[in-house]
A and B are shown apart, each in its own frame.
Chain A
Amino acid sequence: MDQFEVKVFIRLRPSVLDPAGEAIKSASSKLGVAGIKSLRIGKMIEVKLESNEEDIKANIELLCDRLFANTVIEDYEYSINKL
């Protein structure tokens, strides 16, 4: 068994309106930073786990597809780092 550190990024699909992102975009402009074209909020989940190297991808896919993200509204991607 090996140790892994996985970072999962979850973001709303482009077709889903992100009103909180819009609110932050509006606040950002008040700092005087011009030119923000788009701002959308996502989530990042950090997982440390023990797994066989051959199973790690399937385990993370299962977690992402069934729990971490709702694929009706969200997309996900992840990076796997062996410790």
Chain B
Amino acid sequence: MASFTVGIVVFPGSNCDRDVSWALEGCLDIKTKFLWHESSDLNEVDSIVLPGGFSYGDYLRCGAIARFSPLINSLHDFVKSGRRVLGICNGFQILTESGFLPGALVANKNLNFICDDVDLNVITSKGGWFQKLNEKQNIKLPIAHGEGRYHCDQDTLKKLTDNDLIALKYKTNPNGSTSDIAGITNEKGNVLGLMPHPERACDESIGGIDGLYTLKSLITQ
């Protein structure tokens, strides 16, 4: 049997694809394969990462045009099959624009591009994306975004809360996100969207390893 392979989608304008590959291959010894956005064959990969960056130059809205790529079209069946999809930053924006996750990401409240390490509370254990050691688990991950303010209406927020779909909340809200939300999952738990970058927290020498568990959980079936 072929070894477990994580597909990393490359759009024109993606710029964290190689970081994700470095973290998975170099830090976790997990095999990766880059998938050009025009490919629609997802048979050779077992889970998928939509990396950060500026797909299609963020034209119109972040993630709006990436949604129409053949790969995203194939992603519907991939998700239905229960395989895992992790959208990081621009990947999260693409997941909301494509309707895989509810809500939208809009310009930060203070209009700044925020590049910082943030403290986060792990809220859900759905999907097993985070190591939940106790009730109040905190992790620290880097963020780097100009349009990371999660927005949804009150009905959606209630649904997210009632169904335990909020993955991470900022301890101190940096961008004005609704209910301090930094990441959410779908109902099945196999799709996770995050504004923070777990791939940038996989080695002590660059400031922390709190992202390792989430990336490692890509190979959970």
User: A11-19, A27-35, A54-62, A75-83: which lies at the B interface?
Assistant: A11-19
With A15-B153, A16-B106, A16-B151 as known contacts, state yes or no: A70 contacts B111, CB within 8 Å.
no
| B interface majority secondary structure | loop
> Which chain A residues lie closer than 8 Å to B176 at the CB level?
17, 19
Residue numbers in B under 8 Å from A70 (CB-CB):
61, 64, 97, 104
Q: How far is the CA of A19 from the CA of B111 in the complex (A)?
A: 7
Kindly state the separation between the CA atoms of A59 and B103 in the bound complex, as whole angstroms: 25
Q: How far is the CB of B99 from chain A (nearest CB, A)?
A: 10
Interface flag for B138 (CB, 8 Å): no
Cβ of A41 to closest chain B Cβ, rounded Å:
10
B75 on interface, CB distance cutoff 8 Å:
no
Give B92-150 interface residues, CB cut-off 8 Å to A.
96-97, 102-104, 106-111
> In the complex, which residues of chain B have a beta carbon less than 8 angstroms from the beta carbon of A73?
104, 106, 151
B60 contacts A19, CB within 8 Å? no
- A1 at the A/B interface (Cβ < 8 Å)? no
- Residues of chain A in range 33-83 having any CB-CB distance to chain B below 8 Å: 67-68, 70, 72-73
> Pick the contact of A19 from B64, B96, B104, B108 — CB < 8 Å?
B108
Instruction: Determine if B209 is an interface residue (Cβ-Cβ < 8 Å).
Output: no
Number of interface residues of A (CB under 8 A): 12
Q: How close is A35's CB to chain B, nearest CB, in angstroms? A: 24
Question: Does chain A have a CB within 8 A of B79?
Answer: no
Task: Give, as a whole number of angstroms, the nearest-CB distance from A57 to chain B.
Answer: 22
Chain B residues lying within 8 Å of A15, measured Cβ to Cβ, are 153
A43 to chain B, nearest CB (A): 8
Bound form: Cα–Cα A12–B107 in Å: 11
Chain B stretch 44-97: residues in CB contact (< 8 A) with chain A: 60-61, 64, 68, 96-97
Q: Are B152 and A72 in contact (CB under 8 A)?
A: yes
> Chain B residues near A23 (CB, 8 Å)?
111
Q: Inside 8 A of B107's CB, which chain A residues have their CB?
A: 19-20
Q: Report the bound CA distance from A68 to B65 in whole Å.
A: 10
Give chain B residues whose Cβ lies under 8 Å from the Cβ of A72: 96, 102-104, 151-153
In the complex, residue of chain B having the shortest beta-carbon distance to the beta carbon of A69 = B61
Which A residues fall within an 8 A CB radius of B? 12, 15-17, 19-20, 23, 67-68, 70, 72-73
Given contacts A19-B176, A67-B60, A67-B64, 4 further A-B contacts (CB under 8 A): A16-B106, A68-B60, A72-B102, A72-B104
**A-binding residues in B (CB < 8 A):** 60-61, 64, 68, 96-97, 102-104, 106-111, 151-153, 176
